[in-house]
Structure 1
Amino acid sequence: MKALFKNLSLILILTIISCSNSSDDIGADNPPNNDNNPPTNPTSYAINLINDSFEEENFVVIGSEGWNFMVAYKTELDGNEMNFEVIDGELPTIMQDDEGSRYNIFGTALSGPNQGKQLTPMNAYIGYWFSWGTFFPGLEIFESNLPVQNEGESVTGSDGWLIPREKVYVGALRDAIPAIDSPEFNEPKDDTFLNVIGEKGLIIGVCMDNTYRAYPHAILNWHEIVNDEIGDNYFSVVFCPLTGTATVWNRLINGSITTYGVSGFLYNSNVVPYDRQTSSNWSQMLQTCVQGDLIESKTDNLFVLETSLETWSLISSAGRILSTNTGHNRSYDINPYGSYPTNSTINFPINFADDRLHPKERVLGIIVNGKAKAYRFESFK
């Protein structure tokens, strides 16, 4: 009976989300540009680099519209401030420092005086514009003159939560959307599902101990969380289809290894995972425990690369892909959210709305000292 209720809950939430959508086909999840700025040029596969500073932190942002990635690293290495220039056309190599060392997309120096050293990634990930606008009202957009429309107001917690309890919505029963706890992986050549995803389909990529793994959106749309491990690295891939945000969290908390599950709660239309050790609830985008024994604890965020299958295949020829053999009967060739990734619909209430950009435009948000700055793909043409 409990399983029946969970299945009914999952069907209900997916029905609600899909009611305004017109397509069930899996797409590349690429939202349209701002309606006021229709595209005028073909997609550029050039890789470009931005040296920037925010909240007194110096960093470099590298990205490509065509290769569908944006990553950011601190410019300090071993106490020295480095200068970088782009390397185009040699993926996975993307940049070179002023000492002649060349770095790949994961921030590792492949050659030169700094060979083997690792740049420190910024706290950064890609998500839909509306989600960045509601969690960080009035955030700055790189090289944008669009006037700030909503700087928001203070948000205070209630009823034992760090956030307003009345604004935490129930989208499904706990675990009605089942996390994947024993993931299996295929070699790309053996994975026929890749033909369904297509080369433009989005994946979440991790690289640890020279092991590459990719987690397709098409699978995570149905599960949202994968509890995984590589060597001594225990981590959870957390993906929220409603905000388009992917993060990777260390599962080691206070010296103990835990796993995360889908609580069914949503705050600002964003997933609220719970850890199974204490049943505490965590906000993905706030990167904080918002209720429970671990309240106010911060997540330990690991580097995440979101890109297309086409790009991933180029930069990680030895990488493995999450298998559809998840132990759950799901139609992974169907996107349960239909056209949600490209339309203007936001299915659950949010605190603040910012329409400077199309709500589903994918932007990179960089978080420093609790503030965020957004970068658009068009800045890397």
Structure 2
Amino acid sequence: MVENGFPRTLCDRPPVKNVGIRAVVGPAYARSWDEISVPEKYRLGAEVGDGLTAQSQVVGVERDGAARAYPLSVLWWHEVVNDDLNGPVLVTYCPLCQSGMVAKRVVDEQAATFRVSGHLWQPPRIYTEASVLDGRAFGASATESDAEVRNSGNLVLVDDATESYWSQLLARAVCGSASGTRLDILPSTVTTWDAWRDDHPKTDVLLPPPHSAVAREAERRQPR
């Protein structure tokens, strides 16, 4: 599959060392951000909006009666959240493609941790369109209420179980021993924090780092 996209040599490239985008691996939650100190980068700027206010955009996930919101102002910076919400959950976002994807965080029937590989891979447009139609990927933006998915250089994930590369847009492994495997998609909603909270009064919300822990830099082998 990877040879049909760009770059075709993705599978020959090891994960980037010291990649600047760090996945959330130890998420923390609260009922709101009202009682915490929020670093400036999560609440100011044209890309991230105003942090977490009534009209802030969030990705909402409800699973077996539990509800949680993931602010786009955090996802814009970290792109990957490894979570547990009545089971392992993976929440991802690619700012370049304005694409979100929420799935079960499971590879080979085991919970896996995903991180940012440091690479981008652009799938053929027809694959992207099919992924959106199938509900694997959805449009999202921290500053727009109706964002469309862009077919562009897309976030490539790497999992710690098989060290395979995964296309975020396709929710599918494209390099490594898991190549061809698809993640099981979980239902999610892009809406405002106010609307999500009205519909889910008992929801909690992801807190930005340093309240949530991010991945440490580590050398990784080339995907198998």
C-alpha contact 1:267 1:283 (8 A) present in aligned 2: yes
Bigger RCO (CA 8 Å, 6+ sep): 2
Distance 1:211 1:157 in 2: 37
C-alpha contact 1:259 1:276 (8 A) present in aligned 2: yes
Who is 1:254 aligned against? 108
Give runs of aligned pairs for residues 51-66 of structure 1, distance below 5 A: none
Distance 1:165 1:274 in 2: 17
CA separation of 1:174 and 1:236: change in aligned 2, threshold 3 A: farther
Who is 1:226 aligned against? 81
Distance 2:207 2:99 in 1: 21
Return the offset for 1:260: 0.7
C-alpha contact 2:15 2:117 (8 A) present in aligned 1: no
SS of match in other structure, 1:248: strand
Comparing 168-177 with 298-307, which one deviates more in the overlay?
168-177
Percent identity between matched residues is 27
Who is 1:199 aligned against? 54
Who is 2:189 aligned against? 305
SS of match in other structure, 1:302: coil
Distance 1:278 1:251 in 2: 13
2:66 paired with 1:217: no
Who is 1:185 aligned against? 29
Tell me the TM-score normalized by structure 1.
0.41
Give runs of aligned pairs for residues 89-128 of structure 1, distance below 5 A: none
C-alpha contact 1:246 1:304 (8 A) present in aligned 2: no
SS of match in other structure, 1:301: coil
Give runs of aligned pairs for residues 30-41 of structure 1, distance below 5 A: none
Return the offset for 1:175: 4.6
Distance 1:257 1:196 in 2: 30
**Length, aligned pairs only:** 169
Give runs of aligned pairs for residues 1-381 of structure 1, distance below 5 A: 157-158=2-3, 163-166=5-8, 168=10, 173=17, 175-188=19-32, 190-191=34-35, 196-231=51-86, 233-268=87-122, 269-324=153-208, 325-327=211-213
CA separation of 1:316 and 1:191: change in aligned 2, threshold 3 A: farther
Distance 1:174 1:241 in 2: 20
Deviations 1:141-171 (A, max 9, x none): xxxxxxxxxxxxxxx644xxx6444475999
Return the offset for 1:176: 3.0
Q: Unpaired runs of 5+ in structure 2? A: 44-49, 123-152, 215-224
SS of match in other structure, 2:77: coil
C-alpha contact 2:107 2:161 (8 A) present in aligned 1: no
Distance 1:227 1:236 in 2: 5
Distance 1:206 1:293 in 2: 30
Q: Which is higher, the Rg of structure 1 or of structure 2? A: 1
C-alpha contact 1:263 1:274 (8 A) present in aligned 2: yes
Return the offset for 1:247: 1.1
Who is 2:133 aligned against? none
Tell me the TM-score normalized by structure 2.
0.67
Q: Which amino acid aligns with 2:30?
A: N
CA separation of 1:216 and 1:303: change in aligned 2, threshold 3 A: same
Deviations 1:318-341 (A, max 9, x none): 11011121236xxxxxxxxxxxxx
Distance 1:320 1:236 in 2: 17
Deviations 1:102-156 (A, max 9, x none): xxxxxxxxxxxxxxxxxxxxxxxxxxxxxxxxxxxxxxxxxxxxxxxxxxxxxx6
Distance 1:220 1:273 in 2: 14
Deviations 1:324-381 (A, max 9, x none): 21236xxxxxxxxxxxxxxxxxxxxxxxxxxxxxxxxxxxxxxxxxxxxxxxxxxxxx
Distance 1:313 1:256 in 2: 32
CA separation of 1:275 and 1:321: change in aligned 2, threshold 3 A: same
SS of match in other structure, 2:96: coil
Q: Which amino acid aligns with 1:197?
A: L
Distance 1:284 1:171 in 2: 15
Q: Which amino acid aligns with 1:212?
A: A
Q: Unpaired runs of 5+ in structure 1? A: 1-155, 329-381
Distance 1:163 1:297 in 2: 17
Distance 2:169 2:176 in 1: 17
SS of match in other structure, 2:26: coil
C-alpha contact 2:27 2:213 (8 A) present in aligned 1: no
Distance 1:277 1:219 in 2: 25
